Structure 1
C-alpha cells in the first residue's frame, strides 16, 4: 500500500458542518436528547443515542427516538446503519436495512430497530442505537432508452457467480 503524501491528505480529509437541532418537547417518557458523537478518532460514523427507555421485544420492531433533527447538505445523503456489536451480540438491526435521510427532511431522526433474537432487548436513555454518516451523491439525469449495452454478466443475478 502506497503512502499518501502529506500535502494530498487535505483532499481526502474534507470536513462538513452538519447542523443538529434538538427536538424540544419532553414528555413523561421522553428524556432530553444527547448530542451524537464519534466514539473514536477515525470512525466513519457518529453514534446516535436513544432519548427513551424502551424494551424491544423478541421478534419485533420499534421506532426508537434520537431526539435530534439534522440538516443534511444539499448534494448529500444521511445514512443510518445498525451498530455491528448490537447485531452480532443481540440480533439488533435496522428493519429497513439502511435508513436514508434526505437533504430536505427536517423531522426527528429515528431508528427502526428490529430484534431477531430470542431475547427481549432493553434500551436505556443515552444508549447508542445506530450509526450515522453523510455522503455526497450525484444528481442523476434519467435517460429513457430502448436497450442497454451488453456485458459478460448480462441479466444473470441472484447467485449467478456461485457460492
Structure 2
C-alpha cells in the first residue's frame, strides 16, 4: 500500500519517515525543529514537537503515533496521548506530544527520532442503544481488576480516602518462592 506524504519547509534536509527494519510495524518520526535550536523537556513537563510532514492517510485507515521504547526506558520520555490518533481526513502537520517522566531534563535536537507511526485499518460500527448489556464473568472489573491488589476505582470509592492513601494499604501477594 502506498501513502502520500508532503514535506513542509521546516523539514527540508530531514529524511522521510522510514521503517528501521524489514519487519518493523511502525516508521519513525523525527523532530523538525530549527537546526540551531533544541527543545528541552524538563522532568514532569511536556512539549509539542513538529515532524515537518503532512500525511494523506488512505480512506478506511488511521495512523497511530506511539512512543519509542528506547526513549521510554532510557529517559522516561513517552507520547502523552498514546496512541495519538491521526484520522484519514486530517490534513495538517503531524506533531507529537512528548512528556518527560524521567528525573533529568531531556534535550531534543533536529532530526532526532521521537516517535513511531503505525498505519492500520479502521472498523466503524453502528451503535444501537439498548436497556440491557449481556453479562460476562468479568463484569465491571477494570483497571487491573484481574491483577494483584485493589484497583484505583475500588479504592477511590472508599469515603474520605484518597487513592494514594488507600494504595499504601493494599495487600499484595508475594510470588511463590522457588526451592
Counterpart among 52, 63, 74 of residue 78 in structure 1: 63
Tell me the equivalent position of 2:19: 38
Structure 2 length as normaliser, TM-score? 0.76
Pairing partner for 1:154 from 139, 144, 161: 139
Question: Does 1:92 pair with 2:73?
Answer: no
Aligned 1:17-56 pairs, distance under 5 A: 17-24=2-9, 26=10, 32-52=13-33, 53-56=38-41
> What stretches of structure 1 of length at least 5 have no aligned partner?
1-15
User: What's the CA shift for 1:32?
Assistant: 4.8
How many residues end up aligned between the 2 structures?
A: 144
Q: Counterpart in 2 of 1:132? A: 117
Cα RMSD for the two superposed structures:
1.5
CA distance in 2, matches of 1:31, 1:57: 28
2: distance between equivalents of 1:157 and 1:83?
26
| Gapped regions of structure 2 (runs ≥ 5) | 149-179
Structure 2 distance, partners of 1:33, 1:66, is 10
Question: Secondary structure in 2 aligned to 1:108?
Answer: coil
| Aligned residue among 56, 59, 67 for 2:44 | 59
1:25-65 deviations in whole A, cap 9, x for unaligned?
x4xxx765431001111111000011113112222100001
Larger Rg: 2
Matched with 1:109 is 94
Separation in structure 2 between the aligned mates of residue 162 and residue 107 of structure 1, nearest angstrom: 41
More contact order relative to length (CA 8 Å, sep ≥ 6): 1
TM-score computed with the length of structure 1 as normaliser: 0.83
Secondary structure of residue in 1 paired with 2:51 = strand
